[in-house]
């Protein structure tokens, strides 16, 4: 079984910079009217507070690119099996 990762996007803290969509437009949609980003994957679980998504290792590199440009570091990525925080590193 390929490794999997858990993305937790702390949506309520989004400051609307839009950098995630700029870096990874196939993964993120930035809503200019609401000034908030959202995951494009239809499997993402969404509430007003946050969004969550499980991804395979094959998609990790692109998700990391999207997460790393977020100026407020609210796109968190964890190893699903071990719970280790992959991004952001403290
Ligand atoms: S880069 Fe971060 S703050 Fe900017 S829109 Fe994306 S999630 Fe929100």
Beta bridge partners of 90: none
Report the pLDDT averaged over residues 52-79.
Answer: 98
Average predicted confidence (pLDDT) for the chain: 96
Asked whether residue 63 carries a pLDDT value surpassing 80, the answer given is yes
Instruction: List the CATH number of the domain containing 57.
Output: 3.30.70.20
Give the pLDDT confidence score for residue 90 in this predicted structure: 74
Contact present, 69 and 15 (Cβ < 8 Å): no
Residue range 44-72: average pLDDT? 97
Compute CA distances 72 → 2, 12, 27, 58, 67, whole Å. 30, 12, 18, 25, 10
Which atom belonging to ligand 1 lies closest to the Cα atom of 37?
5
Number of domains in the chain: 1
pLDDT at 32: 93
Predicted pLDDT of residue 2: 87
> 13, 35, 70: which to mutate for ligand 1, most atoms within 8 A of CB?
70
pTM of the model: 0.95
pLDDT at 4: 98
C-alpha dihedral, 43 to 47 to 50 to 55, nearest 10°: -10
User: Closest Cα to atom 8, ligand 1: which residue?
Assistant: 14
Residue 64 domain boundaries: 4-87
Residue 1 pLDDT: 78
> Residue 19 has what pLDDT?
97
Helix (H, G, I), strand (E, B) or coil at 34: coil
Ligand 1 pocket, mutate which of 11, 13, 20 (most atoms under 8 A from CB): 20
8 Cα distance to chain centroid = 6
């Amino acid at each position: 079984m390929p490794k999997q990762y858990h993305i937790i996007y702390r949506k309520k803290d989004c400051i609307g910079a839009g950098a995630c969509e700029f870096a990874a437009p196939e993964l993120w949609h930035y809503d200019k009217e609401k000034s908030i980003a959202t995951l494009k994957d239809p499997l993402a679980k969404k509430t007003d507070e946050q969004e969550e998504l499980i991804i395979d290792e094959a998609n990790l590199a692109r998700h990391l690119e999207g997460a790393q440009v977020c100026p407020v570091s609210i796109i968190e990525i964890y190893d699903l099996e071990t719970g280790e925080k992959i991004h952001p590193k403290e």
